[in-house]
């Protein structure tokens, strides 16, 4: 259990100077649905995207706004969430580089149904839906690949539903920690540091519980040596025990 003086998290790209065309080209090829394209095809597509940098906490879009872009995380992390009338936030997902978000409603016009916030300093690519439709028309294989990822998104959303209805808070949180360490994990001597700033409130909003309950669960995990944690950071020390909690 470390008594540290500073966050173990790295100060993630506070400026956006690197969020450039070169990065676009190198990173866009990593996105699953462009993976099978040839280099010259990819180049054509890259041109249609524009890159933007967001600071941690910046709103990328807000629920209710007209949905005009499809976006891809190239660096950093993006939180998708719904703000409810009563002031509760429901976090739907936290996206890592390579994930797409925004709108896929290519027919007719639509509105974003969730909000997107940069969870850490992030470089995001966007493409207008009209441009994207043209890409799909030109490269049917891209459409098939996206269909695949979007089926995967539906799947994970359904898993979320299942957890909310069948698992207690402790298990749900264990699951979240496991997923986050897969998405954002960085190997350290003592364990896996989740390279993503997130508070107890964020965790609670992901698990569908309260800050206090999340805090209690995390305290227990730390007492049992499963994690080491501080403000906005978590390091998983004993993945096996975490998995055991999920199974039982």
| Positions that interact with a copy of itself (CB under 8 A) | 82, 84, 86, 88, 90, 92, 103-107, 113-114, 133, 136-137, 140, 143-148, 150-155, 157-162, 164-166, 208
Among 6, 39, 187, 247, binds DNA (CB under 7 A): 6
Binding mask 159-198 for DNA (x = CB under 7 A): ---------xxx----------------------------
Among 27, 127, 200, 205, binds DNA (CB under 7 A): 200
Indicate whether 12 belongs to the interface with DNA (CB under 7 A).
Answer: no
Indicate whether 84 belongs to the interface with DNA (CB under 7 A).
Answer: no
Q: Least distance from C-beta 124 to DNA, angstroms?
A: 23
In sequence order, what E strands does the chain have?
Answer: 50-54, 59-61, 69-75, 78-83, 89-95, 100-102, 115-118, 122-128, 185-187, 192-194, 227-230, 233-236
Nearer of residues 166 and 187 to DNA, judged by Cβ: 166
Nearer of residues 75 and 205 to DNA, judged by Cβ: 205
Per-residue burial over 118-156, b if 16 or more Cβ lie within 10 Å, else e, is bbbbbbbbbbebebbeebeeebeebeebbeeeeeebeee
Q: Least distance from C-beta 206 to a copy of itself, angstroms?
A: 10
By the 8 A CB rule, do 30 and 98 touch? yes
**Token couple for 120:** 């850490």
Nearer of residues 10 and 62 to a copy of itself, judged by Cβ: 62
Nearer of residues 13 and 45 to a copy of itself, judged by Cβ: 45
State whether residue 181 is helix, strand or coil: helix
Please state whether beta strands 192-194 and 233-236 pair in parallel, antiparallel, or not at all (unpaired).
antiparallel
Under 8 Å CB-to-CB from 10, ≥6 apart: which residues? 195
Helix (H) and strand (E) counts in the chain: 8, 12
Q: Least distance from C-beta 88 to a copy of itself, angstroms?
A: 5
**Token couple for 241:** 């025990």
Q: What does 48 interact with, of a copy of itself, DNA, none (CB < 5 to 8 A by kind)?
A: none
Binding site for DNA (CB under 7 A): 3-7, 168-170, 199-201, 208-213, 215-216, 218-219, 222, 229-233
């Amino acid at each position: 259990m470390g008594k540290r003086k500073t966050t173990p998290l790295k100060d993630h790209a506070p400026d956006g100077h690197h969020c450039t065309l070169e990065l676009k080209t190198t990173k866009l090829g990593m996105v699953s649905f462009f993976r099978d394209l040839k280099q010259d095809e990819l180049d054509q597509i890259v041109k249609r995207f524009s890159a933007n940098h967001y600071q941690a906490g910046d709103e990328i879009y807000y629920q209710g706004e007209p949905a005009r872009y499809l976006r891809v995380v190239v660096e950093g992390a993006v939180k998708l969430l719904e703000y409810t009338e009563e002031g509760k936030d429901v976090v739907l997902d936290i996206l890592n580089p390579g994930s797409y978000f925004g709108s896929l409603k290519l027919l007719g016009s639509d509105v974003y149904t969730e909000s997107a916030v940069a969870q850490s300093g992030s470089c995001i690519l966007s493409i207008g839906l009209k441009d994207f439709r043209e890409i799909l028309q030109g490269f049917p294989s891209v459409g098939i690949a996206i269909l695949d990822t979007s089926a995967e998104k539906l799947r994970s959303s359904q898993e979320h539903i299942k957890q909310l209805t069948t698992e207690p808070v402790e298990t749900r949180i264990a699951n979240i920690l496991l997923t986050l360490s897969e998405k954002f994990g960085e190997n350290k001597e003592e364990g896996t540091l989740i390279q993503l700033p997130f508070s107890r409130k964020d965790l609670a909003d992901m698990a569908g519980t309260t800050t206090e309950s999340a805090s209690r669960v995390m305290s227990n995990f730390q007492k049992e040596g499963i994690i080491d944690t501080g403000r906005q950071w978590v390091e998983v020390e004993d993945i096996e025990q975490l998995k055991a909690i999920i199974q039982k």
